[in-house]
Amino acid sequence: MNFNHLRSFYNVGKYLSFSEAAKNLYISQPTVSIQVRKLEEELQTKLIEQLGKKIYLTDAGKRLYNYASEIFKLAKEANLMINDISDFNIGQVLLGAGTTAGIYLLPELLGSFKADYPKVEIKLQVGNSKLIIQRLLENEIDFAVIGEGLGLDLDFISKSITKDELVLIVSPNHPLATKHEVSILDLCNETFILRERGSSSREIFEKAIIKNNIKMNVAMEFNCVEAIKKAVAANLGISVVSNSALKLEKQLNAVASLKIKDLDLVRNIYLVYHKDKEFTNIIKNFIKYISLGIDNQF
């Protein structure tokens, strides 16, 4: 069915006048008549009848007019929707994040972005870096924000958007709590509580420890930073976590944080995406928004 022919018919049915239809479409009256006739020929059905100077829709014409009304209504809505997407007003963002970024860095920025773009739907998946990378490979998310430490597939593009420091945390009742800095040797006989394997923070810390020929006693593994902090506060062991995860604990003096001499525990936080991924305008805008926002937090 020719869209222009249908539009001419719709306007004739709306005004019950060929001349008014032509005026509304900014075309000649003979052109409207020809297009309606061609539509009738295509459908092999009479749509309009003229009695004297008056025009009426046939039964088939009335039924088609109702469909045409819905078609042009939806076409108008579709145009508005595409314009909104082009103007960054609506759309969907599928974002994956490592635990540090997903819990401690992104939520405030997501709230600010939603306030500016309320029609944009944001879906955030949080997990360890290994899991989030797998989500990228399976195209379940558009891009990810994760800490360095895990090797990335050559198909991925990664851009550093900020730095994140890992620090040692101990209970306020722990003997090391009175110090501001400890040596690697101070950790030899300590009991560690760490994130599960696949976590960026664990990978960074373990590589630094192995490089210095130190053996760790890992007594517990948690897949939740909040659980680790509570276990450390209860003096069940010590741990290494992102400094950005300790704002509340520092205020409450729930744990003590220390630096480890001679260990470089400053890592990059990367924005990662597949090299073949094509982003919508809203996703491009969102990436720019959070990249600037995260960097300004430090």
Determine the residue type at 246: L
At residue 162, what is the residue type?
Answer: T
Q: Give me Rg for the CA atoms of the chain.
A: 32
145's enclosing H/E stretch is strand 143-147
Residue 176: its pLDDT value, please?
A: 94
Q: What is the pLDDT of residue 140?
A: 92
199 secondary structure, DSSP code: -
3-state secondary structure 35-46: HHHHHHHHHCCC
- The C-alpha atoms of residue 178 and residue 26 are separated, in whole angstroms, by 84
* Predicted local confidence at residue 166, as pLDDT: 94
DSSP 173: T
Per-residue pLDDT of the chain (298 residues; tens, 9 = 90+): 888 999 999 999 999 999 999 998 899 999 999 999 999 999 999 999 988 889 899 999 999 999 999 998 888 878 767 766 666 667 789 999 999 999 999 998 999 888 888 888 899 999 988 899 989 888 999 999 998 867 777 788 999 999 999 999 999 999 999 998 999 888 888 999 999 988 888 988 988 888 888 888 899 999 899 999 999 999 999 999 999 999 999 899 999 999 998 888 998 899 999 988 888 888 888 888 888 877 655 4
Distance CA 44, CA 49 (A): 14
- Evaluate if pTM is beyond 0.85: no
pLDDT at 42: 92
Mind listing the domains of the chain with CATH numbers?
A: 3-86 (1.10.10.10), 90-162+268-296 (3.40.190.10), 164-266 (3.40.190.10)
Alpha-carbon distance of 63 to 4, in angstroms, equals: 18
End-to-end CA distance of the chain: give it in Å, rounded: 59
